[in-house]
Amino acid sequence: MALELNILQAEHGDSIGISFEFKGEIRNILIDGGPAQAFEVQQTPRALKLFLNEIKNKNQKIDLLVLTHVDDDHIGGLLAGFNKNGYLSEITQEVWFNSGKLIFNHFDKPLDDSNTIKLKNSSGSNTSIGQGIKLEEHLTNKKIWSHNLIKVGDEIDWFGCKFKILSPSLAKLEKLLVKWEKENPNANTAGTINDYQNSIEQLLADDNFEEDNSIHNGSSLAFIFECNDKSILFLGDAHPSIVIESLKSLGYSKDNPLKIDYVKVSHHGSKANTNNELLLLIECENFIISANGKHHGLPNKLALARIINRFPTTNLMFNYPDLINRIFTEEERIEATFSAVSCESPIQI
C-alpha cells in the first residue's frame, strides 16, 4: 500500500494516523490523540475511536504511539483510549513519551509531590504534568514504553522508516523542571477572536512575529518522518526557533532548503509558531492544518498568509474544511494562486 496519512478530526487538537507496508505487514503509527472528546462523547465514538476501530477490525495494531507533549489537546484522547477496555492498552506495541519522570531522571532532579500539580491554561482545560503522570501509570507495568528521552539530534530507524528529531532541545525540556501553577498565555495564541476579517495583504503589511512562549509547546516533539521515499515534517506544537536551529545544524539553509512532501503546521496554525525564517528553510507545496477553528482563534490567517507569501501555489489542507470559507473571502478564493482543500479523507502519498 501507499503511505496513508489520516489527519483525524480531533476537535481543536492533533491526532494523526500513518499506515504503510513493511515486509508484507501493515504498520500503523498514531501521533497524539487530541482532547478526550476526540475519542468519544457520551459513549458516542468520535474520530480517534473510529480510527482505532478500523485498526482492530483489520486485526492490526498501533505499532507505534507518539505523544508529542502533554497538552490536553494532544494527550486527552490517548488517556481516554487507555481507559477504555479493548483499545490502546491492548493494541499498542510501542510508546514514545517524554514523561516527567524521564525528564527529571535525565537532569538528575528529585521528583516529588510538588512536581505533580495539575496545570491550567487560559481556557481552563487540563494541560498538565498531572495528565502525563496518569499516562505514566498506564504504561509503567507494560513493556511497550521505550523509556528513552527523545530530543534534538536523535535519529531513529523504525520498520524501514527514519525519524529525525528537531525538537525539543534539552534547554526546553529543562524548563519543565520548575514548579508553576499557571502559564501566562501568549497574546498571539490567547482568546477566541480570529483575524479572518483582514485580507492577506493587510496581515502581511502589519506582520510582526512574536514567538510562542508556552513551556509545554516548547517541549513538543517535532521531526522529519521519512518512509517509502516520501518525507513529512511533523511539527507538533514546537517553537520555530528550535526547529530552525535544528534544520540549520543538519545543513539546511535558504539556498539549500529541506525538500519535503507535506508539513503538518505547528500549533494548529498559530501565528506564533510559523515564521518567515522557518519557511525559508523548507521547500514544500502541501501544508496541513489540524484545527476546528473553535479555540484561540486558530488557525491564524496570518500564519497561512506567511505560507502563501512564501509558496504562492501552495496547497493548504484542512481537516475541518468548513474553515476555508470562514478564513478566505470569495474574492481571495477566486483570485488565489494557492489551493485550499479538505483532508477529511485519508491522504495517499
Which SS3 state, helix, strand or coil, does residue 207 take?
coil
pLDDT class of 146 with cuts at 50, 70, 90: confident
Res 188 pLDDT > 70 = no
H helix intervals, 170-265: 170-174, 200-205, 215-218, 240-249
In this predicted model, which residue has the larger pLDDT, 195 or 116? 195
What pLDDT does 111 receive? 58
Among 139-148, 200-209, 230-239, name the one with the lowest average pLDDT.
Answer: 139-148
What pLDDT does 47 receive? 98
List the chain domain ranges: 4-348
Q: What is the mean pLDDT of residues 234-256?
A: 98
Please answer whether residues 28 and 55 qualify as being in contact, where contact means their C-beta atoms are separated by less than 8 angstroms.
yes
What pLDDT does 192 receive? 64
What pLDDT does 344 receive? 96
Res 182 pLDDT > 70 = no
Q: Note the pLDDT tens digit of each residue in 327-340.
A: 999 999 999 999 99
Res 142 pLDDT > 90 = no
What pLDDT does 133 receive? 76
Q: Note the pLDDT tens digit of each residue in 27-67.
A: 999 999 999 999 999 999 999 999 999 999 999 999 999 99
Res 20 pLDDT > 60 = yes
Q: What is the mean pLDDT of residues 193-200?
A: 96
Burial code (b: 16+ CB inside 10 Å, e: under 16) for 182-213 equals ebebbebbeeeebbbeeebeebeeeeeeebbb
Rounded to the nearest 10°, the torsion over CA 121, 295, 264, 257 is: -80
C-alpha angle 234/69/7, rounded to 5°? 40
> Which set of grid coordinates corresponds to residue 286?
502541501
What pLDDT does 3 receive? 95
pLDDT > 70: percent of the chain = 90
Q: What is the mean pLDDT of residues 286-296?
A: 96
pTM: predicted TM-score of the whole model, two decimal places: 0.93
- Dihedral (CA of 83, 87, 90, 91) sign: negative
What pLDDT does 128 receive? 53
- CB-count burial class (<10 Å; 0-12, 13-18, 19+) for 265: buried
What is the residue type of 236? G
Among 13-22, 32-41, 101-110, 224-233, name the one with the lowest average pLDDT.
Answer: 101-110
Rounded Cα gap, residues 292 and 153, in angstroms: 32
Please answer whether residues 344 and 321 qualify as being in contact, where contact means their C-beta atoms are separated by less than 8 angstroms.
yes
| CA distance to 283, 285, 341, per residue, from 292 (Å) | 26, 22, 14
**Which CATH number does 4-348 carry?**
3.60.15
Q: What is the mean pLDDT of residues 271-288?
A: 98
Across all residues in the chain, what is the average pLDDT? 90
Q: What is the mean pLDDT of residues 12-22?
A: 97
Res 69 pLDDT > 90 = yes
In this predicted model, which residue has the larger pLDDT, 65 or 142? 65
What pLDDT does 183 receive? 46
Rounded Cα gap, residues 258 and 234, in angstroms: 13
Q: Which of 212-216, 234-238, 294-298 has the highest mean pLDDT?
A: 234-238
Q: Note the pLDDT tens digit of each residue in 98-123.
A: 988 888 889 887 655 444 433 333 33
Res 274 pLDDT > 70 = yes
Res 181 pLDDT > 60 = no
Res 189 pLDDT > 50 = no
What pLDDT does 123 receive? 34
